[in-house]
Structure 1
Amino acid sequence: MDHPYKTLEIVRENTSSSVFHLILNRPSQLNALSLDSFAELPKALSSLDQNPDVSVIVLSGAGKHFCSGIDLASLSSISARASSGGDRGRSSELLRRRIGSMQAAITAVERCRKPVIAAVHGACIGGGVDLVTACDVRYCSEDAFFSVKEVDLAIVADLGTLQRLPRIVGYANAMELALTARRFSGGEAKDLGLVSRVFGSKSELDKGVTMIAEGIAAKSPLAVTGTKAVLLRSREMSVEQGLDYVATWNSGMLISDDLNEAVSAQMMKRQPRFSKL
């Protein structure tokens, strides 16, 4: 499909499908995240979020690798601009705003109402880990490898890995990965809980993730988006608060045409047909 992006591509492989693919599209730079990437990512996600034809988004990378991290030229540019001013306080304030803007680009994955599934092959390093930890579900191919690389560049990972990774793999595991910056395999990522499944090859990954995404897309969009919203909000709440929140959510959403359609389809042993969101 047509798109105005320099670093991304949006693909709908089947016109009858509500699964859309958001592809990091800088293969000659190993899909390193540039300043353009951070500007375009929230725009693309907002576009997909607001498109009623979209039910599920699959995030992947073009070429041999998923993402090699933040583009080093962009990183140097940010640092140079922030340090070019004469006043240290103002330079620091500018740098803080730039970091906040980049953080918001990654958080846009989480804030998208539609579920975002990461399909990782090859390298997933630094900013790539920031990106996948913001996704809702993660899968990888057998050749995938990961690294929380920032400490090797003399910086503290600041785009979400240190906040999200411990919730996924546990505090101790996240601490060890972040301090050592060591490379770990897709198999270890599965053992840690970072990915849900490892596929034998890139082609198997693409087929398998598309099938999973199609299965989610066939479900009630109200139930799917609601499940994502409640799970994300519940991270910040006690069990009692979370139960109260979902009760309030369902009091507004439960009595819907989707519920009637799901029950009717079950009784008639047919596939349900839900309206677009």
Structure 2
Amino acid sequence: MATGQMAERQSFLDGLIQRAALRRLKRAAQSAPEADLRALRRQRAQARQLKQQIDELLHVADNRLALPLIGNQSFPRPHDADWAWRPELWTGPLPVKGISSVQSKSMLGREATLFHDCAQSELTLRQLRNTREADLAPFGLRLDVFRFTGSYLSLAIDLPEEAARGLKRRHLVRLETIVEMEKPIEIFARLNIRHGPNTEQLVREMPLHQDDVMIEFDLAYTKLNEKRVEKLWLDIIFEGPQMNQVTLRDLTFSRRPRAEL
């Protein structure tokens, strides 16, 4: 018998067994008011064992089904966007969930790299599972900073090749994120575009007074050589980060052409 047929038959048998069990429980519940006490005591013990298993299943199922779906690339984007992307760190589970005493140039996953100039690192970086109802991203990123003796701290996100393909000076590149902090600090976003021997840089301060942060980089203000675009990456720069915890609940990019005048 083929594997598919065996699985189908097993599923059919499981259904029969489940329906028979439900019928027995229903009969037992209906006859409980007049049942023999010895039989009722036995049925109560069996029902309690079954209830424990059912409660455990419902608890796990409710929690898992309430979480954002792993691998989700769905998020609001401009209707005329010709490219959109959520990095892997916010999309799926990483083999290594976190790093303590993070050294400069340490990578978490294949796309995120932390840079700093502390002689002794008191930084931790870890991926966490989002559980809020409002979250679309399955995962978030948490940065804990204790004593900080360096002059800079930044997180670099490498964008995929698709971000560079067909990039023009008429494009707007949008960054959207959700940021949580223990105490207010300034955070800047710097978009880097390598084209040939040159690199264009556009810097924007994140408007952290908003729940959902949105920034657009207008490439019209660059000297971009459209024929030589090689690579894009984003630097998230943290100013005065000591004794703070910063959580990026989501991070997404999209690209759209500017409307012609």
Q: Indicate the structure whose relative CO is greater, using CA pairs within 8 Å and at least 6 residues apart.
A: 2
Report the TM-score when normalising by structure 2. 0.23
Report the TM-score when normalising by structure 1. 0.22
Structure possessing the higher radius of gyration over alpha carbons = 2
